[in-house]
Amino acid sequence: MATFEQYIKKDGTKNWLFKGYIGTDPITQNRIRTTRRGFNTKKETQRELMLLQIDLESSSYSYQKGNVLKFAQLYELWFEQHSKDIKPITVQRIRIYFNNHILKDFGDMPIHKITPLFCQRKLNEWAEKFETYKQMKIYVKMVFKYGMLLGLAKDNPMERTITPKKKKRAFDEANSYYTKAELKIFFNHLLQLKYQLVYTFFRVLAFTGLRKGEAMGLL
């Protein structure tokens, strides 16, 4: 069991540390205790502990015994690395995909128990509900691919699924436009992204009636 503490440095600034048991050495079978300090936030401290535990587990990883690493933990590792190379607006969009949809279905599952059949069923459900189901499939594949790179996953089950075709729906004019109240909600969510260009872009569309391509031509 590890504990997390905030401490004051000699210069008066505050940092975080953790100390405690992180696992058992796979060779000596001795219990390993450690202390790490110098983290800016408690979240950074917790992430470092998780990385240490995963490194320890992966050194003696056995698929026969089963891996206790959950999909949500692997996602956090992948996202931390992937977010370094993408724009802030893309970071926000990926978080929305995972927090609102993907993690609800996959988050608590141990990665070794996620099968192609399970992925196929979820993909079919997403295709019925969401226009963005193909992108959601891509992100799940990316998480498993990263897990295989780290030696934490033996397979990419989402890779072995068939992407269903989206059924065309009859045009429903009444539900094809935002009401004034819905538009306000939409703009409030855009403000949470803290990306002014996107907010401005959609306001221009809403108040001018321009198509996206026409508005892009004005940039």
Beta-bridge partner residues of 7: 15
pLDDT band at 82 (very low <50, low <70, confident <90, very high): very high
State whether 185 and 163 are in the same domain: no
Tell me the residue range of the domain where 178 lies. Answer: 173-216
Average the pLDDT over 192-217 and give the result. 75
Q: What is the DSSP letter of 177?
A: S
Share of the chain above pLDDT 70, in %: 82
Supply the pLDDT for residue 191: 80
State whether 146 and 197 are in the same domain: no
Centre a 10 Å sphere on the Cβ of residue 91 and count the other Cβ atoms it contains. Answer: 16
Whole-model pTM: value is: 0.55
Is the confidence at residue 144, as pLDDT, over 90?
yes
Is the confidence at residue 217, as pLDDT, over 70?
no
State whether 188 and 156 are in the same domain: no
CA nearest to 140, candidates 150, 26, 129, 126 = 126
Asked whether 37 and 7 are in contact (CB, 8 A), the reply is: yes
State whether 1 and 20 are in the same domain: yes
Asked whether 22 and 49 are in contact (CB, 8 A), the reply is: yes
State whether 155 and 113 are in the same domain: yes
Supply the pLDDT for residue 40: 87
The rounded distance, in Å, linking the Cα atoms of 219 and 210 is 13
Query: What is the rounded average pLDDT for all residues in the chain?
Result: 82
CA nearest to 136, candidates 150, 148, 122 = 122
